[in-house]
Structure 1
Amino acid sequence: MDDAQTLKKPPRWADAVPDREAQFDTKRRAVVRAAARAFGRSGFHNTSLDEVAEALGVTKPALYRYVRTKHEILYEAKCIAFEAGLKARTMAFAATPDPVQRIRLYVVAYIELVTGELGSFAVLAEPVTTLPPEYRDLIMARMREADRALRDMVQAGMDAGGLAPGDPKLAVAFLMGAINHIARWYSPDGPLTGRQIGEAFAGFILNGLVGMDRPRL
């Protein structure tokens, strides 16, 4: 077969269509997103799997192909948030060497990603203690990992002189406390986009971390 024939050869069907595992993961993620929105409307404890199935337009047995319990959905939603946090940190480090601007970019990107992925992400306000131990321990480990990464980012800003000296642990508690509270009031149907909220919160947070004796950012 000559080069021209090789170039004209159509792609294999297996290359063009996602494999079963990829399709399953995509559908499972859609279930989690739909459930997160349902939990946002009525609350985690007040929403049944029947209501999640109804929101997706599927039967409950079909839903059980992807998730077995509400706690599994809550766990997966929190995992999506951690994935968004990791992606936001990666984007921030790739974009600039400035440690203060990295924090700004992280805040904007994280809020935009998590609101876009989960829509109404009120489910994230549900405490970790709601989860059974097999999920809770995994989430706690990821929380510690994310907390260490953010403390390092804040410490770098302090070391560079861009942020007021202080305790990075408290600074991260302040930063993430502000961000996590968004879950209690944000609505994808509201007047502001996730990015707009992220830009506003980045300004509030950095002006707080810079300190009153320094020029505002």
Structure 2
Amino acid sequence: MTAQAKKPPRWADAVPAREAQFEIKRRALVREAARAFGRSGFHNTSLEEIAEALGVTKPALYRYVRTKHEILFEAKTIAFDAGARARDMAAAESSDPLERLRLYIVHYIDLVTSELGSYAVLAEPVTSLPPELAEPIRGRMREADRALRAMVQAAMDSGAMPQGDPKLAVAFFMGAINHIARWYDPNGKMTGRQIGETFAGFVLNGLRGRG
């Protein structure tokens, strides 16, 4: 008699692990909080209001976050993660420096608007965070800035756009992109992807100039 094949563990891959379920709920909380912050502002929104919007009690909310600052930190972390993912996607999709820059803008706006629902929270300055949370975010800001400057420099070196200061170029287009947080409406007429495509056209036309 042949030995029976070893059966896989019951429920294998069918139900997320407890840690994964926790992270999914925490992510949902951050999205709802971002919407609340977008409606009323970070400083005018209480944890009670966020709990009410989620349909949970405040003690239940405390299982996932302890303060509004923690939510703000998580939202900004999600945005920087989206930026890193957008850079990776752009690099995988094209070897052309200018096209990579265009794809980054499209993917970043699409990802951050879909991930956060309303990303007005990103307009909140880092100074709203306590030092222990602000410093890691500043580190992510520096990392993203270096990566974007390198992308712009590569496009300049390829001859796709005039030589100039990559630092100013990044400040120009990221300032415009980050300002979307002030007016973006997840229920508006345009999707994040459509806004990304439009902004990418504006940015590339601006950086290429008359050439």
Settle same-fold status: TM greater than 0.5: yes
Give the drift of 1:37: 0.6
In 1, Cα distance between equivalents of 2:177 and 2:101 = 13
Aligned pair partner of 1:42 in 40, 43, 66: 40
- The corresponding residue for 2:147 is 149
Specify every segment of 5 or more residues in structure 2 that has no aligned partner in the other structure, as ranges.
none
Give the drift of 1:96: 0.5
For residue 192 of structure 2, what is the amino acid of its counterpart?
A: G
In 2, Cα distance between equivalents of 1:176 and 1:11 = 48
- The corresponding residue for 1:175 is 173
Within a 5 Å distance, the mapping from 1:17-28 to structure 2 comes to 17-28=15-26
Identical-residue share of aligned pairs (%) = 75
Within a 5 Å distance, the mapping from 1:100-119 to structure 2 comes to 100-119=98-117
Give the drift of 1:17: 1.5
For residue 26 of structure 1, what is the amino acid of its counterpart?
A: I
- The corresponding residue for 1:56 is 54
For residue 191 of structure 1, what is the amino acid of its counterpart?
A: K
Aligned pair partner of 2:157 in 156, 159, 182: 159
In 1, Cα distance between equivalents of 2:186 and 2:166 = 32
Structure 1 outlier segments of 4+, above 4 Å: none
In 2, Cα distance between equivalents of 1:121 and 1:40 = 7
Give the drift of 1:15: 3.3
In 1, Cα distance between equivalents of 2:133 and 2:181 = 21
Specify every segment of 5 or more residues in structure 1 that has no aligned partner in the other structure, as ranges.
none
Give the drift of 1:154: 0.2
Length-normalised TM-score, structure 2? 0.96
Question: Does 2:129 correspond to 1:136?
Answer: no
CA distance 1:21–1:207, change in 2 (3 Å):
same
- The corresponding residue for 2:75 is 77
- The corresponding residue for 1:98 is 96
- The corresponding residue for 1:185 is 183
In 2, Cα distance between equivalents of 1:11 and 1:203 = 51
In 1, Cα distance between equivalents of 2:87 and 2:81 = 10
Give the drift of 1:11: 5.5
Length-normalised TM-score, structure 1? 0.94
For residue 104 of structure 2, what is the amino acid of its counterpart?
A: Y
Give the drift of 1:164: 1.4
For residue 67 of structure 2, what is the amino acid of its counterpart?
A: T
- The corresponding residue for 2:27 is 29
In 1, Cα distance between equivalents of 2:13 and 2:65 = 28
User: SS of the residue aligned with 1:164?
Assistant: coil
User: SS of the residue aligned with 1:16?
Assistant: coil
User: SS of the residue aligned with 1:191?
Assistant: coil
User: SS of the residue aligned with 1:21?
Assistant: helix
CA distance 1:2–1:84, change in 2 (3 Å):
farther
In 2, Cα distance between equivalents of 1:112 and 1:102 = 15
> What do the CA deviations read for 1:75-118 (whole angstroms, capped 9, x no partner)?
00000000100010000000010000000000000000000000
Give the drift of 1:10: 6.3
In 2, Cα distance between equivalents of 1:6 and 1:52 = 50
For residue 135 of structure 1, what is the amino acid of its counterpart?
A: L
For residue 107 of structure 1, what is the amino acid of its counterpart?
A: I
In 1, Cα distance between equivalents of 2:153 and 2:10 = 51
